[in-house]
Amino acid sequence: MDFHTLAHETLARYVARASGASTLTLTLAFDLKGHSTIGQCRQEKRGHYRIRLHCELCEHYGQTYLEDVIPHELAHALVMERYGRRAKPHGKEWKATLEHLEGGKIPSKKRPSYPLLRTKRTRLTRHAYTCDCGKKHLLSAIRHNRIVRKTHWYKCLTCKGVLLPLET
């Protein structure tokens, strides 16, 4: 069975457990990438929610991943629908909703660990700049490229001098 079918079946199972979830329109998307987000719930409009899953983690961890993430994100949708923005993302309403979905106490650890996410981290490139007071400033690649394209310039917060590339 492919992970798309498995994910939809897992969602249907948790929706059946939740009171009020049958009135929601829930869409699953397998479009998350990156290193830090393993799942996400987005409200598209009142009663309509998109649960975004990490495709690579679905493929690698299968049912274990789905059993961790789907109830977590469904609980967010239910809390947003019932309480709106008054409830905190992992507050008491969310915890009570997740406990109901899981059928008992939830573990104190909110986020499971998936080693696959840790292996692909890349280090951000920083570019050295200096100012009139001689202070060294490290700028991100985005800011560096803006300076190179001459669309932006940046000032030192201390001396108010324009930042110039540091000669290496």
Q: DSSP characters for 21-89?
A: GGGSEEEEEEEE-SSS-SEEEEEEETTEEEEEEEHHHHHHHTHHHHHHHHHHHHHHHHHHHHHGGGS-T
Q: pTM value?
A: 0.68
Residues 74 and 137 in one domain: no
H or E element that contains 10: helix 3-17
Residues 106 and 143 in one domain: no
pLDDT digits (tens, 9 = 90+) for 29-62: 999 987 778 899 999 998 899 999 998 888 888 8
Residues 53 and 91 in one domain: yes
Structure tokens, 64: 């274990």
Structure tokens, 107: 């573990």
Quote the number of domains for the chain.
2
Structure tokens, 46: 């009142």
73 is catalytic: yes
pLDDT digits (tens, 9 = 90+) for 99-124: 999 888 776 665 667 776 655 556 77
pLDDT digits (tens, 9 = 90+) for 68-88: 999 999 999 999 999 988 899
Catalytic residue among 9, 56, 67, 73: 73
CB distance 65 to 55 below 8 Å: no
pLDDT digits (tens, 9 = 90+) for 119-154: 555 677 899 999 999 999 999 999 999 999 999 999
Residues 100 and 26 in one domain: yes
Domain that holds residue 106: 3-118
